């Protein structure tokens, strides 16, 4: 009985082993990687836009609570929603590409948020709008550079989508500043 059970098991094991070795892995379903590795330009933009997203979500939340006009509150809400969505995409892309992102806004951005926290009334509205207009102009310039000089197609596509959103934000901020 022992011999009759061992021989079929050994034969099955041998068949399984030789069968595995003879079968080539199926790579047809895996798309060929056409993206280049992220360049320093790509990495810098990803880090910069991530810091900006973190800062603008904080500033937007402040505007939602401290803004004195419906326009400021609405722009604040838009910034929170859009920059949260964008940052989710940025974070996912960075993870896929192995790019380490900062854990907080830049020192200057943190100082701006602290300044906004200390401001109130119409002064808050003016400080918020002027600060966010400046930040969005800088972010747009960096994003346009990424679109034209970046090397990784995934990062460039993300920058292209971000560019449209940043321009809409800038337009809304400028409109709110005009009154």
Neighbours of 69 (CB within 10 A): 14
Report domain 40-178's class: mainly alpha
Lowest-pLDDT range, 12-21, 78-87, 122-131?
A: 12-21
What ranges make up the beta strands (E) of the chain? none
pTM, to two decimals: 0.78
Contact 164, 147 (CB under 8 A): no
What pLDDT score does 153 carry?
Answer: 96
Neighbours of 149 (CB within 10 A): 12
Contact 149, 176 (CB under 8 A): no
Tell me what the pLDDT averaged over the chain comes to.
Answer: 85
Place of tokens 């964008």: 86
What pLDDT score does 35 carry?
Answer: 61
Q: In this predicted model, which residue has the larger pLDDT, 179 or 120?
A: 120
10, pLDDT greater than 50? no
User: What's the token pair of residue 5?
Assistant: 């059970």
- Average pLDDT value for residue range 68-86: 97
pLDDT category, 97, cuts 50, 70, 90? very high
């Amino acid at each position: 009985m022992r011999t009759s059970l061992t021989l079929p098991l050994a034969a099955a094991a041998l068949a399984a082993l030789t069968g595995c070795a003879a079968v080539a892995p199926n790579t047809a379903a895996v798309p060929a990687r056409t993206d280049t590795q992220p360049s320093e330009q790509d990495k810098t933009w990803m880090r910069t836009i991530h810091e900006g997203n973190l800062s603008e979500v904080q500033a937007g939340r402040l505007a939602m609570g401290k803004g004195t006009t419906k326009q400021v509150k609405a722009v604040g809400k838009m910034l929170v929603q859009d920059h949260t969505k964008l940052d989710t995409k940025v974070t996912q892309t960075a993870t896929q590409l192995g790019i380490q992102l900062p854990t907080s806004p830049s020192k200057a951005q943190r100082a701006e948020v602290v300044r906004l926290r200390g401001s109130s009334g119409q002064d808050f509205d003016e400080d918020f709008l002027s600060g966010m207009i400046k930040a969005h102009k800088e972010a747009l310039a960096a994003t346009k550079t990424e679109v034209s000089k970046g090397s990784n197609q995934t990062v460039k596509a993300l920058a292209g989508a971000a560019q449209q959103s940043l321009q809409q934000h800038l337009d809304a901020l400028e409109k709110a500043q005009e009154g």
